[in-house]
């Protein structure tokens, strides 16, 4: 049993960090800070599962080099059918995620100070005022939303090709492809930064909490806000 400390509220004894992390974000519990409540984590993993579903059923259609992936689903014909439905599920879950996270992902004045180069050098000098999400994370969020929309619309055209004009189909093939390539590259970066590159981050997406040290290092302004300026 750890102590729950909410800024401005009196300390409450009782629930564990995990229990708190189910419901509330941005609160301290003992030495941990709740970064993602249960709903956020669930939608993240729902999006992730549908993303990989769409990716693995789409790649064998994209190139015979990845034809082996089709066998996990029962062949290329199954992929052609499944890819469309998983794609719709992916788009729908991205829409829910968009609504849940949109407010946190609005760009603000602090984001202009964020230096991608300094960030990628891991110097810790990118911006002392990084809030709950840095400019790169916000950009990734908006990229997922925009790319998700384009890949859905072009996917609908490719789903029922006979109902659309040759021009629209041709454009959709290219857009679907460009979005896929962009998504693939971005997701590799996302997974890398969320696991090996920044230890502690993955825990926030599984159990919901991060350590004070992690918060201080990666999101100093958010850390100050959550702790109420305490060190």
Q: Active-site residues: which are they?
A: 190
DSSP state of 200: T
Q: Which stretch binds other proteins (CB under 8 A): 21-29, 42-50, 109-117, 165-173?
A: 165-173
- Work out how close the CB of 60 gets to other proteins at its nearest, in angstroms, rounded to a whole number: 8
Which of 24, 110, 216, 221 binds other proteins (CB under 8 A)? It is 216
Q: CB burial class (10 A; 0-12, 13-18, 19+) of residue 174?
A: exposed
- Pick from 33, 195, 217, 194: which is nearest to 127 by CA? 217
CB of 107 or CB of 192, closer to other proteins: 192
Assess 181 for contact with other proteins (CB under 8 A).
yes
Assess 124 for contact with other proteins (CB under 8 A).
yes
**How many CB atoms lie under 10 A from the CB of residue 130?**
23
Helices (H), ranges, the chain: 17-23, 38-62, 76-101, 116-120, 135-159, 166-194, 201-206, 212-218, 220-227
Q: Please give the residue ranges that form the binding site for other proteins (CB under 8 A).
A: 61-65, 67, 76-77, 79-80, 120-122, 124, 158, 160-162, 166, 169-171, 173-174, 177-178, 180-181, 184-185, 188-189, 192, 196-200, 203, 211-214, 216-218
């Amino acid at each position: 049993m750890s102590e729950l400390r909410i800024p401005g509220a009196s300390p409450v004894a009782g629930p564990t960090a995990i229990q708190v992390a189910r419901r509330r974000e941005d609160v301290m519990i003992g030495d941990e800070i709740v970064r993602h409540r249960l709903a956020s984590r669930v939608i993240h993993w729902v999006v992730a599962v549908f993303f990989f579903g769409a990716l693995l059923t789409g790649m064998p259609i994209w190139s015979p080099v990845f034809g082996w992936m089709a066998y996990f689903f029962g062949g290329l014909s199954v992929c052609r059918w499944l890819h469309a439905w998983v794609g719709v599920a992916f788009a729908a879950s991205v829409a829910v995620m968009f609504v849940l996270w949109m407010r946190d992902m609005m760009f603000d004045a602090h984001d202009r100070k964020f230096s991608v180069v300094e960030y990628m050098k891991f110097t810790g000098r990118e911006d002392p005022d990084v809030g709950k999400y840095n400019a790169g994370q916000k950009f990734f969020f908006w990229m997922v939303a925009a790319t998700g929309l384009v890949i859905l619309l072009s996917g609908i055209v490719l789903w029922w090709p006979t109902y659309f004009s040759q021009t629209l189909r041709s454009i959709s093939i290219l857009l679907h492809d460009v979005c896929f390539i962009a998504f693939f590259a971005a997701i590799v970066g996302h997974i890398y930064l969320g696991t090996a590159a920044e230890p502690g981050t993955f825990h926030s997406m599984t159990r919901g909490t991060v350590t004070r040290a992690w918060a201080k290092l990666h999101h100093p302004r958010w850390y100050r806000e959550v702790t109420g300026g305490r060190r």
